[in-house]
Amino acid sequence: APSLPLVLNTWPFRKAAEAAWSTLLAGGSELDAVEKGCGQCEVEQCDGSVGYGGHPDEHGETTLDAMIMDGNTMEVGAVADLRRVKNAIGVARKVIEHTQHTLLVGESASLFAESMGFPSEDLTTQSSLSMYLQWLNRNCQPNFWKSVTPDASKSCGPYKQAAKFTKEERSVSKKRIDVHNHDTIGMIVIGQNGSIAVGTSTNGADHKIQGRVGDSPIAGAGAYADSTAGAAAATGDGDLMMRFLPSYQAVEYMRTGMDPTIACQKVISRIQKYEPYFFGAVICANTSGSYGAACNKVSGFTQFHFMASNPTLKQPSEQI
C-alpha cells in the first residue's frame, strides 16, 4: 500500500536516499530533503556522474547542471554549465530563494554562486584529467601531443565526429551516454502532507562540446513536480530525452489517474518511437505515494535500479 512520506531517487545511490530521508525525519522541508539528498551525491561524486571530477568536456573541464523544483508553488531554481563550484544543487536552491529567475548559466552562474558565498574551486581531479587525456589519446592519434592545442582539439572533439555517425551507430556504439556512462541523480520527495519537491544534479555528458547542457536542469525534462498530480525525474541521454519533456509528460499522465509505472513506460516508449536505441530511464510517483520506474530495454539494460524510502519499506531506504 502506498504511504507517505516518500523519497525516491534514480540509481542505487543509497546514501543520497538516506540523507534525504533523515532530513525529512529531522523536520526538514521537502526542498531541504532534495537539496541534502542530491548534495550528498555531489560530495560522494556518485558514479563519477555527479559532482566534481567527472565527465570532463572536450577541453578537460568538469561543469555541472542542477535543478530543484517546488511542486506547491511551481517555482524552479536551476544552474547549467556551472563552473568551479561543487555544490550545484545548493546554488540551484539559491536561485529559487534569492532571485526572480529560474535558470542561470555558465560563468555568470558561477559569479552568482560566489556572491552567495559558495567557494570557487577547481573541479578537475587526477581521475578527470586522466579520463580526458585518455580520450584525447584515443581520438587524436597519431599526433597525441600535437593534439593538446586548441586547434587540434577542434578536430578531435565530438562535434566533428558526430556528423560521421548514422543514427544507429550514434545510438549503439558511439554514444557518449550509455549504460557505462550515466547516473545523474534525480530525486522525488513527497512529505506527509503531500507536498512534492524534485531535484537533479549531474556533470552531464562525457567529452561534450563546451556549453552543452543536458536535460537535468530543464524543468519538465530532467524532473518535474506538481503537488496536485505527482512527480517524475529522468536519467540517460539528455540530448535526446530533453526533446520530449518526459518528466512533464509523466506527471500529466498521472494527473489523469494513470498508474506511475505505466506513466513511466509510456514516456519511454514515446521517445523510443523516434530514437529506438536511446539510453534512458524515468522514475515516477503520484500524490498518494505510489511509485514506479521504466527504462528503454533496447538500449542494453534489462532492469533499472532505484532507491525508495517510505514507512512500509525497510528503513532508511531500499533498492528497487
* Stretch touching ligand SD4 by CB under 6 A, among 68-76, 133-141, 210-218, 243-251: 210-218
Task: Kindly tell me which of 24 and 177 has the beta carbon lying closer to ligand SD4.
Answer: 177
Q: Is 89 helix (H, G, I), strand (E, B) or coil?
A: helix
Stretch touching ligand SD4 by CB under 6 A, among 66-74, 105-113, 209-217, 244-252: 209-217
> Does residue 215 interact with ligand SD4 by CB under 6 A?
yes
Catalytic entry in 10, 62, 184, 200:
184
Verify binding: residue 204, ligand SD4, rule CB under 6 A.
yes
Q: Residues 269, 294, 225, 90: what is their CA dihedral angle, to the nearest 10 degrees?
A: -120
Per the document, the length of the chain is: 320
3-class secondary-structure state, position 271: helix
Among 63, 202, 296, 317, indicate the residue that binds ligand SD4 (CB under 6 A).
202
For position 214 contacting ligand SD4 by CB under 6 A, the verdict is yes
Q: Which residue in 182, 197, 199, 292 binds ligand SD4 (CB under 6 A)?
A: 182
Q: What are phi and psi of 149, to 5 degrees?
A: -130, 155
Q: How many residues bind ligand SD4 (CB under 6 A)?
A: 15
- 83, 105, 122, 211, 320 from 61: Cα distances, Å: 8, 15, 9, 11, 34
Q: Phi and psi of 84, rounded to 5°?
A: 65, 20
Tell whether residue 238 is a contact of ligand SD4 (CB under 6 A). Answer: yes
Smallest gap from residue 200 Cβ to ligand SD4 (A): 8
Q: Which is nearer to ligand SD4, 89 or 140 (CB)?
A: 89
CA distance 51 to 60: 15
Q: Beta-carbon neighbour count of residue 77 at 10 Å?
A: 28
Examine the residue annotation and report whether 256 is marked as an active-site residue of this protein: no
Q: Which of residues 55-94 bind ligand SD4 (CB under 6 A)?
A: none
Q: What share of the chain is helix, strand, coil (3-state, %, to 5)?
A: 40, 20, 40
**Phi/psi of residue 140, nearest 5 degrees:** -120, 20
> Mind telling me the catalytic residues?
184
Residues that bind ligand SD4 (CB under 6 A): 49, 177, 182-184, 202, 204-205, 214-216, 235-238
